[in-house]
Amino acid sequence: MTALLEVEGLVKHFVAERSLFGRATAHVKAVDGVSFTVEAGKTLALVGESGCGKSTVSRLVLRLIEPDAGAVRFEGRDLGALNAEQLRAFRRDAQLIFQDPYASLNPRMTVSQILTEPLALHNLVPPARRRERVEELLRLVGLEPRFARRYPHEFSGGQRQRIAIARALAVEPKLIICDEPVSALDVSIRSQILNLLRDLQDRLKLAYIFVSHDLAVVKHIADRVAVMNLGNIVEAADAEALFAAPRHPYSRALLSAIPVPKPKAKRSRIVLQGEMPSALNPPDGCRFHTRCPYAIERCRSEMPQLSDDGIGHATACHRVAELPPADAIVPSDGGFTPTLEKLVAAFNAVEAVGRTGVGNETRA
């Protein structure tokens, strides 16, 4: 079965500095060889720190910006080969929900005008039926039809995001990219929007790319998760498998930062040491090696490839088979966790025993 969306070797470098004669002298390597697939009716979450390239990937997928290399295929069609007319037709199949509901809606247009615009642009509904269609869209996202006459400033943040979702649904898309759609909302409203997105997915058979840095949110909406670090995917797996047993050291550090709803639970976070490298000048080899406690010389010189284990769990780490069990670092019940320093010390001690065969010499 062909995936709805296939992304292969996507690359995007932005010019950061130019010489006096206009020649590019420095580039920001925002996306550097990203590949993934999205199945129809499923949700892929792209997660990682700010600046890792998540939002750039989403804009490349929609061809809002052009890639330097790589391919994006939607239902088997290469999006890079589409002309202007074909690209406009593709826009109906793939939509984007922005992060900020206050900035993504035109303040000079009523809700009715905002929702009617895509209907007229793609000529989907006759003019006589557009008012009825607007009312249908508002009901679909949990708003009353009478709101159609109001302007965006008359709504709360959660209501504005519902209007943005209705605008995306107006053209009946197959894929929606949600670029941190709940990060600008109050915590009490986030669950309502997430439940709405899940309900719409079940009813309309939508596929989502959910961009977020909040793993607690991702856990409840994603079918599959891809973890990004400095323009690369370092781990990709089904959501249940990744949250139960993350393999990459970076994924483990991210998951250890999720708050546990147990005030008295004794839990130690994995605090990464060192500075995050710059995308202007990323380090050689594995881009995480400057902060990874398990890095060896090979990590500093050779970029690890994203390797699948045959059951859908892919990891880009030279030492993935040698790392301590994940359940010792990221507990599922919020119980006590040994500190990172103790785990690394124990790991190094075991490794030293393997090299020397003398146990007493490696004890702390």
Residue 189 lies in a domain: yes
Domain match, 214 and 294 both: no
The predicted pLDDT at position 27 comes to: 87
Asked whether residue 151 falls in the same domain as residue 70, the answer is: yes
Per-residue burial over 152-187, b = 16 or more CB atoms within 10 Å of its CB, e = otherwise: beebebbbbbbbbbbbbbbbebbbbbbbbbbebbee
pLDDT higher than 50, residue 219: yes
Same domain, 191 and 266: no
Looking at residue 214, its pLDDT comes to: 83
**Token representation of residue 266:** 């004794």
Domain contains 199: yes
158 and 272 together in one domain: no
Which pLDDT value is given to residue 168? Answer: 96
**Tens digits of per-residue pLDDT, 151-187?**
999 999 999 999 999 999 999 999 999 999 988 888 8
Predicted pLDDT of residue 276: 81
Identify the pLDDT of residue 147: 95
Whether 62 is in a domain gets the answer: yes
Confidence of residue 353 (pLDDT cuts 50, 70, 90): very low
Q: For residues 256 and 306, state if they share a domain.
A: yes
Domain span at residue 136 reads: 5-222
Residue 121 inside a domain? The answer is: yes
Arithmetic mean of pLDDT, 123-148:
94
Q: Residue 23, class by beta-carbon neighbours within 10 Å (0-12 exposed, 13-18 middle, 19+ buried)? A: exposed
CA dihedral 136, 140, 146, 148 (to 10 degrees): -80
pLDDT the model gives residue 47 = 94
Classify residue 228: in a domain, yes or no. no
Q: What is the model's pTM?
A: 0.85
pLDDT band at 265 (very low <50, low <70, confident <90, very high): low
Give the model's pLDDT for residue 348: 54
**Same-domain status, 63 and 204:** yes
**149 and 10 share a domain?**
yes
* Structure confidence by residue, pLDDT tens digits, 63-121: 999 999 999 999 999 999 999 999 999 999 999 999 888 899 999 999 999 999 999 99
Q: What is the pLDDT of residue 335?
A: 39
Q: Is the pLDDT of residue 349 over 60?
A: no
Instruction: Classify burial at 91, counting beta carbons within 10 Å of its beta carbon; exposed 0-12, middle 13-18, buried 19 or more.
Output: middle
Residue 28's domain is classified under what CATH number? 3.40.50.300
Q: Which of 194 and 341 is assigned the larger pLDDT? A: 194
Model confidence at 127, pLDDT cuts 50, 70, 90, reads: very high
How confident is the model at residue 267, as a pLDDT?
Answer: 61
* Angle in degrees, CA 66, 72, 78, rounded to 5: 100
The DSSP output letter for 23 is: -
- Same domain for 278 and 209, yes or no, is no
How much of the chain, in percent, has pLDDT values that exceed 70? 87
pLDDT of residue 330: 47
Strand pairing class (314-315; 232-238): antiparallel
Largest CA distance in the chain: 85
- As a whole number, the mean pLDDT across the chain is 86
Tally the domains of the chain: 2
pLDDT of residue 355: 44
Indicate the length of the chain as a whole number: 364
- 227 assigned to some structural domain: no
Same domain, 10 and 125: yes
- For residues 18 and 56, membership in a common domain is answered with yes
User: In the beta sheet, which residues pair with residue 94?
Assistant: 175
For residues 214-220, give the mean pLDDT: 86
Q: Are 107 and 152 in contact, with CB atoms under 8 Å apart?
A: yes
> Is 25 part of a structural domain of the chain?
yes
pLDDT class of 360 with cuts at 50, 70, 90: very low
Give residue-wise pLDDT tens across range 8-40. 999 999 998 898 888 888 889 999 999 999 999
Q: What angle do CA 311, 316, 318 make, to 5 degrees?
A: 110
Confidence (pLDDT) at 268: 61
User: Residue 350: what pLDDT?
Assistant: 44
| Band of pLDDT at residue 204, cut at 50, 70 and 90 | very high
Average pLDDT over residues 284-307: 91
Identify the band that residue 202 occupies on the pLDDT scale cut at 50, 70 and 90. very high
Domain shared by 324 and 191, yes or no: no
Helices (H), the chain: 54-61, 84-93, 111-121, 130-140, 157-169, 187-204, 215-221, 239-244, 249-256, 297-301, 340-356
Return the axis-axis angle of helices 187-204 and 157-169, rounded to nearest 10°. Answer: 20
CA distances to 154, 276, 327 from 238, rounded to whole Å, are 40, 27, 17
* Residues 208 and 279 placed together within one structural domain of the fold: no
